[in-house]
A and B are shown apart, each in its own frame.
Chain A
Amino acid sequence: MSVTTAKRPNAYVGSPVERVEDLRFLTGRGEYVADLTREGQWHAAVVRSSLAHGRIVSLDVDQALALPGVRAVLTARDIGIVPLIPLRTGLPSYQPYAQPAIADNIVRYVGEPIALVLADTAEIAEDAADKVISEIEPLPLVLGWDQSVNGQILLIGDTTTNVAGRHLASRGDAAAAFAKAPYRRRETFRVHRHMAMPMETRGVLAEWDSATSHLTVHGAAKAPYFNRKSLAKMLNMPEASVDCMECDVGGGFGARGEVYPEDFLIAFAARKFARPIKWIEDRREHFMAMNHAREIDADLEIACTRDGKLLGLRGNAYIDCGAYIRPSCITSVRNIATFMAGAYRIPNFEVYGTAALTNKTPAGGFRGPGRYESCFFFERLMDIVADDLKLDRLEFRRRNLVTADDMPYPLAKLEPSESPDGFLDSGHYPATLDACAHEFGWADKLKLNGTVIDNLHHGIGLCCFVEGGAAGPRENVRLEIESSGDVTLYSGSSAIGQGLETVMSQIAADALEIPMERIRVLHGSTNLLHEGFGSFASRATVVGGNAVLVAAKTLLETVRNAAAERFQVSPEAVLVANGVANASDGRTLSFADLGDLKLKAEGTFANSKATYSYGTAMAHVAVDATTGFTKLLEYQVVDDVGRAINPLTLHGQVIGAAVQGLGGVFSEDLPYDENGQLLVGSFAEYVMPVATDYPNIHATTMEQYPSPNNPLGAKGAGEGGIIPVAGAVGNAVAAALAPLGVTIRHLPLTPARVWELIQAARA
């Protein structure tokens, strides 16, 4: 899409403004954590477990220490009492399963840190890591949710189960509804393990200031303030003595910016040796160390009338959480239960989400956690029912989607939960269905559905979805007028590549009525504000953006009062407009004229009510039955985000997320063997989408129903692009292959798997 830059004030919000960040990124002047160096720094390398479950018998570090240039090797023994990484949930059942910062006696997944090597260069550190000799006595393995929940092998000492949490999302009376339902259908589904895979690996540079006993940790992302709290607790330090600093971040997608074992280990080493310590994760270890995601099995039963009115949904979803519960893991457990039928009105609902531990890399949030999976499960189920009852797939959905009349529509009640009961906030969900059908040309393409042209099996499919956003509790912003009259905006939100600086500048420029170029945005780092929350759950634009509005209003008030004093008039006699304070007699003061006063204002936006963007996606595929290869001919998504602050960056989020989601559908996979060994460790084996794969992705955004829950009317929109992908495309492939007797219940739809399904159906 082409874009023109808005020039006059009060026109930024809603305009496709080119990004502020791009100037440095395009000229090689971005500053990512690997770009930082400090005089006298040591480099760290992590020694990791080669076994999936075992007891550490011995760790011999002598050969490593003997290498020239090696400074130290740390193991659990050097840490003392090994702290657990704090969770973002306070629910008690999860706490015993939090990850220790380094394996203490027992290893529970391949890749778990068992030692940290410190050396003069990264090369020597890696040489030495190879020379740490570990003797690990194997213990029996737990490799799937079913084996996990039966509890014959317990993974964590002093616990009686491998189930870290179990949540029920309920509404109405499911048992009664099913008992008298005219039609019921039960199916099992599975989404496989894959991961966020940002292009930048993680990294930490920690510095210790002995004079002030202050620790500074660079490389923070996503939630620096929460992470500071966690690190301070783990290091047994006052929170004020720790700062987490955010530099440019090469992609987050929910996985980057959690506290991982290495964040603690590097900080610990910096303090212990009073040295800057730098660690940059390499891609090989990223595969086994960074959060995995999405491995969920579901067993669902649906009840409806024979003409397609939904009556009930019940069942179970089992999340393979890997060896420990990581800080954000609970989000997918919660979401998979609550949002199993996200966009639909189902009066009777009873879905359990169960978090099960296994001997695999721990799982965590990945863009659209629980929602991507639930869309695949539920929308597949909808199509299976539609096929069974000979219902029109669009009409079946239109009949059951949440409408404007239902708003606010209560979500299923989740127990246990730390959040208040939620509501879908606004919208008319059939509207995006109809708009998408129009843009996509559903009626025309339906003629191709199930046909074979040139040996390619054509199919179309769709998926309706909601995206929760704007998670609370609040966000903080400070605005300061510099002596030049320019404004510095300090935000508690974090930039993870989504264009935060641009969007915050747009909102502030409109609110202050000054050009965007006069606003500089600083964000994330914990030394900027007393408190911040960050960027996750599609919250930064909405919560952070509304905080800008609050701060701007206060700042303008402050300017008015200051100008009144200069003018020697009452504040009511001063009008502040377009960056200038005007007295009624014609005297004026610009922000620069008031620059010496260092005027500033803080703003907080608190919310307990999430926003819900929603939409519909449709896909047209052609499957080559001889190779199992699926070509995506067309993908169209229409969403309603309430209010788009920057259509250019929003469109980018949606398109990019769609392609990311297609990787999960067709190619990305993290298989383990029967010994708990992860079978992929390079980009040659982990098959991500490339430029030749998916050229035909189209996104249209509507702004018909602003959120009533915030003054901007905006809704979180960073994840909606990925959420419906597996549902829509899975249904399209299923429709293409239905004439061959194939039913799609599992991802991924790799060529090999699709071919196997076709063979099995033919047999």
Chain B
Amino acid sequence: MQIAFTINGAPTAAEAQPRVTLADFLREKLKLTGTHVGCSHGVCGACTVIVDGAAIRSCLTLAVQADGCHVTTVEGLSPSGDLSPLQAAFRKHHALQCGFCTPGMLMTLHALLTDEPYADEARIREVLGGNLCRCTGYIPIVAAACEARIAYQGAKVQP
């Protein structure tokens, strides 16, 4: 069936088979291969994208369910091409090694910190509990997230 949604700020329309997940649709139809598929059964979090402001597992969402939605992927995280503060913090803290889980980590944290820029370390760890990383042991990822918080705080007042 024909679907239309906004991807990284730009409208897109394409044919999608009902059984195709949003993850596969992004990767194969839209060639946005930054979103990775690590398990296809909704546990590893590598495929996390943001749909209408909420971080979701794109392997557990059908492409047809994104019809009419706003979808953001890792490719949309830094439109300018420079690293966003979150991405730069990842680099500085060596929060990635093989890079496979990284897009999911970034999208999860971007959604979290946009909503909760004052999230404490425990909350960050709790939220990251839905994303598997086999390389880093998570410690540098948490450090990077903590450092990046300030960039999200902007006008938001600490609750």
Contact = CB atoms under 8 A, between A and B. Distances in A.
A252 B100 CA distance: 12
Contacts of B139: 655, 659, 695, 697
Contacts of A28: 32-35, 73-75, 77, 103
Contacts of A34: 27, 33, 36-37
Contact of B90 (A22, A499, A653, A656): A22
B86 to A, nearest CB: 9
Interface string B98-130: 111111001000000000000000001110111
A499 B43 CA distance: 26
B19 A123 contact: yes
Contacts of B28: 37
Contacts of B128: 690-692
B137 A248 contact: no
Interface stretch (A92-100, A196-204, A389-397, A730-738): A196-204
Contacts of A283: 38-41, 44
A252 B99 CA distance: 12
A23 B133 CA distance: 19
B141 A691 contact: yes
A180 interface: no
Interface string A9-29: 000000000110111111111
A200 B100 contact: yes
B41 to A, nearest CB: 6
Contact of A199 (B17, B32, B94, B98): B98
B78 interface: yes
B83 A25 contact: no
Given A26-B106, A29-B34, A497 B140 contact: no
Interface in A669-718: 682-684, 688-692, 694-695, 697
Contacts of B130: 690
Interface stretch (A404-412, A460-468, A644-652): A644-652
Interface string B129-145: 11111111111111000
Given A199-B100, A656-B97, A697 B40 contact: no
A632 to B, nearest CB: 12
Contacts of A660: 134, 137
Contacts of A498: 97
Given A198-B134, A697-B137, A26 B90 contact: yes
Given A18-B91, A497-B97, A691-B125, A253 B35 contact: no
Interface string A375-391: 00000000000000000
A698 B96 CA distance: 18
Interface in B11-25: 17, 19-20
Interface residues of B, number: 58
Contacts of B137: 655-660, 689, 694, 697
Contacts of B133: 199, 691
Contacts of B40: 282-283
A158 B35 CA distance: 49
B71 interface: no
A720 interface: no
A200 B125 CA distance: 22
Contacts of B92: 2-3, 18
Interface residues on A, range: 35 or more
A24 B32 CA distance: 13
B77 A200 contact: no
Contacts of A2: 92
B60 to A, nearest CB: 13
Nearest to A659: B137
Interface in B39-80: 39-41, 43-44, 46, 73-75, 77-78
Contacts of A251: 97-98, 100, 134-135
A168 B133 CA distance: 38
Contacts of B136: 652, 655-656, 659
B99 A25 contact: yes
Contacts, number: 184
Contact of B36 (A197, A200, A692): A200
B36 A250 contact: yes
Contacts of B101: 199, 250
Contacts of B102: 25-26
A496 B81 CA distance: 25
B53 to A, nearest CB: 19
A31 interface: yes
Contact of A691 (B91, B103, B135, B138): B138
A657 B128 CA distance: 19
A682 B90 contact: no
Interface in A190-208: 197-201
A519 to B, nearest CB: 18
A35 interface: yes
A622 to B, nearest CB: 18
Contacts of B19: 123
A284 B35 CA distance: 20
B21 to A, nearest CB: 10
A380 B19 CA distance: 52
Interface string A656-669: 11111000000000
Contacts of A26: 74, 83, 87, 90-91, 96, 99, 102, 106
Contacts of A35: 27, 33
A24 B35 CA distance: 13
Contact of A27 (B78, B97, B98, B135): B78
B81 to A, nearest CB: 8
A69 interface: no
B13 to A, nearest CB: 21
B74 A27 contact: yes
Nearest to B139: A655
A652 B97 CA distance: 8
Contact of B75 (A27, A248, A252, A689): A27
A497 B99 contact: yes
A29 B99 CA distance: 10
A688 B83 contact: no
A249 interface: yes
Q: Give the residue among B98, B103, B128, B138 with the most A Cβ atoms within 10 A.
A: B98
A684 B38 contact: no
A26 B20 CA distance: 26
A261 interface: no
A529 B142 CA distance: 40
A19 B140 CA distance: 14
A690 to B, nearest CB: 5
A32 interface: yes
> Which 3 A-B residue pairs are closest in the complex by CB-CB distance?
A28-B34, A497-B98, A250-B100
23 contacts: A18-B92, A23-B83, A26-B91, A26-B106, A27-B75, A27-B78, A27-B81, A28-B33, A28-B35, A34-B33, A34-B37, A250-B99, A284-B41, A497-B99, A498-B97, A653-B97, A655-B136, A682-B39, A690-B130, A691-B126, A691-B131, A692-B129, A694-B138
Given A283-B44, A652-B94, A690-B128, 7 more contacts: A23-B91, A37-B28, A197-B134, A250-B100, A498-B97, A690-B129, A691-B125
